[in-house]
Chains A and B, each alone.
Chain A
Amino acid sequence: MRRGWFLPLFATLGFGFLYAPIVSLIVFSFNESRLVTVWGGFSTRWYGELISDGQLLEAAWVSLKIATISASLAVVIGTLAAFVLTRFGKFHGKLMLTGMVTAPLVMPEVIIGLSLLLLFVAMEGMLGWPAGRGMTTVIIAHSTFCAAYVAVIAQSRLRDMDESLEEAARDLGAGPVRVFFDITLPVIAPALVSGWLLAFTLSLDDLVIASFVSGPGASTLPMVIFSKVRLGVSPDVNALATIIIGIVALAVTVAGVLLMRQSKRAR
């Protein structure tokens, strides 16, 4: 087939569109001038200001804690839900569980955030818990909506997996719990790792839900960035973005190289 000029040109433009804003973000993080778009010479002063910005560092620490705990809880809840839906056949409430696992994927974040906040406020009025809002309420919110994403990933892995392995273990006398921990869990572990990573990223990235359900003293990193960015561009946000992009690029590249090596070996 004759190779046209259209596709390569268009793809180049497309990748340019995807990366030009990111590149400019990085370039202007090393800009001496406070004006983000006028070049005033190379400097790393914004990185220095970033390190001395206590509010941002505090928010980053809060966000990392929330993301780690939420992702772990989401993996537990999501895996249980996926396992129940794929292995237990028919049971009362199966349709409801299916709905609750798929709905968060199409639910606008503003609705999830608002409805959970109203629940927390109503619960506080009736039960006295949660007393005010903060890290706990954000973690509950994040682990609930991330669990849906984990469940989708785990479900597809559980469906693809060879069930005869589990049957063999059962025939050899292992109880259902033992089969789960010794056979099922190790087989679906890679899917759970990617589910954890996805949940971690979603939690770290979330602004809308956290804004609704968070309280004083528990501002997450996106909340602090958003309040800064709303007032206009600020070079220290560029510096922060550059660091985040650097970490992600490194992680994805390492993961990509590892995957490629693995698939080569498999061939």
Chain B
Amino acid sequence: MSGASATPGRGRLALPPAMIAAPLVVIALMLGRHWLFLPEDLVLLIGAALLFAFGGFVLGRLVGLPDRWIVIAVPMLWLVVFFLVPFFVLGRISLAETMIARPPYSPLWERGDDGGIEIIASLENYRFLLSDALYVNAYLSSLKIAAISTLFALLIGYPIAYYIARSPEPRRSILLLLVILPFWTSFLLRVYAWIGFLRRDGVINNLLTWAGIIDEPLVMMQTDFAVYIGIVYTYLPFMILPLYANLVKLDGALLEAASDLGASPVTTFLTVTLPLSVPGIVAGSMLVFIPAIGEYVIPALLGGPDTLMIGRTLWDEFFSARDWPVASAVAIVMLVLVVLPIMWLQSVQNRQEAQE
């Protein structure tokens, strides 16, 4: 190894140019802040992060630590503070009492008479969740709506993915682009588009009335039906893309062999194509099912007042009832019952794939 020639003529404090650039970025941001209309504390936060990286780097070199510790520390610290710690705060507040105060919950700790810190916690909010059928129903109903929507997305998405995978170029690329395109446009606006379609005087009712199929307009808005349509519609690309990626790798020789041996197209599909595409089906279904469970926007815009979904219940508990502790308890239960099993399932899946 040519370790000596790596840093010719420089001491062990020799800093790479990127590290010297960091303080310059802070100075530039401070000067350009008013021109860019950036909030002051944001610039300070970025400055602090860069200073931490810069200082840690210099300190590490002086103390003789390997450079890598600061490279690990920067993303680690950011994610711990802004991703991990919030869950502990969430858990703590789910054990607090609702109070008319700012913020609207009992203090997280209090000074006891002997000067020590007293922490008062109660499981009252969780007991409340269990005692009120609304919350249990909301959990069950979210699971049901997400599962049925996933099934329909699969039934609609599979033939489309198969068709794209079997199309010759350049049609294949164009169709693929057409599937991805809606994903890049606003999710909110795509849900909004369905309001114009499903309303009492909307496009579908107008067309059906005009064609003489119905006399009375159908009631579609503010029903569970509208929620199913909304979820299937917005998450369909997430189903099609993994299915396509799987089906496009399917070896055509296998299909030919099956049909040469006398299998009908249906038999070929059921015994060759379908079993081979199971990984694509699983991947696509997860991508639809997971976000659908916690969905707020679709039930809020398309669903009726009796469309129960847990994301919406949490939202209403927080914004309408202003009951932060109960909202936190709903979130914690959701985390334990929904998110942790999914993460566990995914890690098992990853391990299996790694073994193969």
Contact = CB atoms under 8 A, between A and B. Distances in A.
Contacts of B196: 21, 24-25, 28, 36-37, 233, 238
A4 B265 contact: yes
Interface string B162-182: 111010001001110111111
Interface in B172-208: 173-175, 177-182, 184-190, 192-197, 199, 201-203, 206
Nearest to A105: B290
A240 B74 CA distance: 39
B90 interface: yes
A251 B166 CA distance: 27
Contacts of A38: 201, 206
A134 B37 CA distance: 13
B318 A14 contact: no
Interface centre among B83, B157, B319 (most CB of A within 10 A): B83
Interface string B85-112: 1110110010000000001000010000
A114 B159 contact: no
Contacts of A93: 72, 76
A237 B192 CA distance: 9
B343 A103 contact: yes
Interface string B14-58: 001011000000000000000011110110011000000000000
A109 B298 CA distance: 13
A20 B335 CA distance: 36
B124 interface: no
B151 to A, nearest CB: 16
Contact of B189 (A17, A25, A208): A25
B71 A83 contact: yes
Given A24-B196, A118-B89, A1 B185 contact: no
A100 B186 contact: no
B249 interface: no
B75 A77 contact: yes
Nearest to B157: A14
Interface string A129-173: 111001110011100110100000000000000000000000111
Interface string B194-237: 11110101110010000000000000000000000000010010
Interface residues of B, number: 103
B80 interface: yes
B211 to A, nearest CB: 16
A266 interface: no
B90 A115 contact: yes
A177 B328 contact: no
B294 interface: yes
Interface string A110-139: 110011101101100100011100111001
B86 A115 contact: yes
Nearest to B198: A21
Contacts of A248: 181, 184-185
Interface string A1-32: 11010111011001101111110110010000
Interface centre among B89, B166, B189 (most CB of A within 10 A): B189
A69 B42 contact: yes
Contacts of B126: none
A14 B45 contact: no
Interface stretch (B2-10, B113-121, B128-136, B275-283): B2-10
Contacts of B324: 118
B185 to A, nearest CB: 5
Chain B interface, DSSP helix/strand/loop, else mixed: helix
Contact of A111 (B41, B160, B179, B294): B294
Nearest to B301: A229
A17 B294 CA distance: 24
Interface string B316-352: 0011000010011001001100110011001000000
Given A65-B37, A207-B188, A181 B72 contact: no
Contacts of B308: none
A42 to B, nearest CB: 18
B270 interface: no
A126 to B, nearest CB: 9
Contacts of B156: 14, 17
Contacts of A119: 82, 85-86, 89
Interface in A53-71: 65, 69
Given A25-B196, A111-B294, A173-B6, 7 more contacts: A1-B255, A91-B68, A108-B294, A174-B6, A208-B297, A241-B186, A244-B185
Interface of A: 1-2, 4, 6-8, 10-11, 14-15, 17-22, 24-25, 28, 35-38, 65, 69, 73, 77-78, 80-81, 83-84, 88, 91, 93, 96-97, 99-104, 106-111, 114-116, 118-119, 121-122, 125, 129-131, 134-136, 139-141, 144-145, 147, 171-178, 181, 201, 204-205, 207-208, 211-212, 222, 225-226, 229-230, 232-233, 237-238, 240-241, 244-245, 248-249, 251-253, 256, 260
25 contacts: A1-B259, A10-B159, A14-B157, A14-B160, A21-B196, A22-B182, A37-B201, A81-B75, A81-B76, A88-B72, A93-B72, A93-B76, A103-B83, A106-B346, A108-B339, A110-B314, A119-B86, A175-B16, A177-B19, A207-B188, A229-B192, A237-B189, A240-B189, A256-B173, A256-B174
Interface of B: 1-2, 5-7, 16, 18-19, 36-39, 41-42, 45-46, 67-68, 71-72, 74-76, 78-80, 82-87, 89-90, 93, 103, 108, 156-157, 159-160, 162-164, 166, 170, 173-175, 177-182, 184-190, 192-197, 199, 201-203, 206, 233, 236, 255-256, 259, 265, 290-291, 293-294, 296-297, 300-301, 311, 314-315, 318-319, 324, 327-328, 331, 334-335, 338-339, 342-343, 346
